[in-house]
Structure 1
Amino acid sequence: GAASDAGPASSSSSSSSAAARKRTPKRRGASLAAMRELPVLSAEDCEAAEEKALERAVAVAEEAARRQQSGVNVRAIAEYSAKNREYVARAAELDQVSSKRDAARKEWDALRKQRLEVFMAGFRAITLKLKEMYRMITLGGDAELELVDSLDPFSEGILFTVRPPKKSWKRMANLSGGEKTLSSLALVFALHHFKPTPLYVMDEIDAALDFKNVSVVAHYLKQRTDMAQFIIISLRNNMFELADRLVGIYKTHDVTKSVTIDPKRFAAAAGVPTGAEEAEARIAAGKASASAASPGPALADRTNV
């Protein structure tokens, strides 16, 4: 039964393929006939066809461009212009601030340089005068001012060392009470010589000094009274005896009172010279001996030569 069913199917497929083979030559002939009927294009026709193709391509490109432009933010140009103006304004402000900063920095550097120059000039002058003052007060000592940091004088401070007569160099912390007083007075006198003032007030500067040093300091202050006025509080007679005026302070019945004395009037009444007059006489004698010891003009000229 199966064999009988397969027989008719195979016969039908073979018959359809045979029919297709019979129709294929007919179709080929029809295609060849249609190709023979196609017109032959001239060169002008080809150019016209190419122009039409180009026009179609241009139209497609323009359409694509229009579609792209439809999604562009037109306000971006205005925003860019606003941001650009803001940038230009900020850049101008920056340039102005930078110029002010440079000017301020230049002025600051000039002030720092001026401060250093003025300080070093004063430091050198005060150091030289300090040596002279300390040598005069102590009759042979020496003193020195040194910068702790020579590269930056304002960072660390100043070191003050002295060498009392017949002793070694010492710092202020290692000196006795009298030596500290003499060192401080020498520094004060050097500072006053560098920048003098018309009035000085000193409170018991001789309290820790012996008789000899009190006399030395008192006579030096007497010499300085030609250019300034000194108000000195003292309990040492060899100090206040050289004064031009004495003001005594005392207390009675819990009330403080004062009395002013002119030593010259009392000395004139007693017929004796005052301590100030004796000091002035010694100062005048010292100046006269110093001028007499100096060489004459001719000798000075020869010495200079």
Structure 2
Amino acid sequence: MSSSAKKISIIIPTFRDWDRLSICLSALSKQTFPKSDFEIIVANNDPADEMPHGFVIPENGAVIKVAKPGSYAARNAAIVRAQGQILGFTDSDCIPESDWILNAYNYFLEHSEVSRIAGHIELFFKRDQLSPAEVFEKVYAFKQDLVAERLNSSVTGNMFAHKKVFDEVGLFNDSLFSGGDHEWARRAHANGFNIAYSERVSVKHPARYKMSELVKKSRRVGGGRAGMKRTNLCKSAAKVLWAVIPPFTEVNNYLRRYGSGMSAYQKIQVLAIKGYLDFVERLEEFKFSTGKTAERG
């Protein structure tokens, strides 16, 4: 890869996920944006897990090894190395559309007031008949329009930002195993760096198929929230008790916005799963208030 500066650096953390990373890199090799103008930095977060024999890295790509555990530590190591004026983030299980980078670059050119982009994340499913977990994901997962609108944030599965934002507000909090993207976004917003959602800056992401995957994520999110702001034991216990009440209003709002075409049974599934996952998340926060420490999810 050339040592000259690039317009864009694409950063991908990975952890024992070579098969899906290969698909992601294949999609990046087919980008309509000139290869000479962007670089790809893959941050391998398990240095002991060597790249498989015959694994193909694009000519404008590189793999670095990051020993400190956590995807935010991996991203930070790549950011320090990055040569691009713009940083683009995705994950090894994502498949960028062919015009992903070009559309992000053009969006910044056309909207000079925007410092960060929350890109669209399109779910895909194993089969036509959705599992209960997939039904829930269809309504709740990766709603980047809402994340940008309500939280001035974006998940790092599909985010672009000017490098100067990181230069000013600093790197991700690499002590966190979840929620580090939102913690960083709060700092960016507080420093006046705004964000916009773009449907055209799009990647595909597999929906979680099993309930166990949703539970694992909720525990990770609960731990990440607790890591960002420790609450006392009484408040954490109260949150657990409050989570027992089904979130009827919230779920109804999401169903009206994202549940088009769902059956009544599927809508009941969404409500039941959301209530259960809220309880799991709050219970994890409670455990942290009693002294539990964060681990990789």
What TM bracket, shorter-length normalisation? Answer: under 0.3
- Please identify the structure whose Cα radius of gyration is greater: 1
Per the normalisation by structure 2, the TM-score is: 0.25
Q: Which of structures 1 and 2 has the larger relative contact order (alpha carbons within 8 angstroms, sep 6+)?
A: 2
Per the normalisation by structure 1, the TM-score is: 0.24
Relative to total residues, which structure has the larger helix share, 1 or 2? 1
Relative to total residues, which structure has the larger strand share, 1 or 2? 2
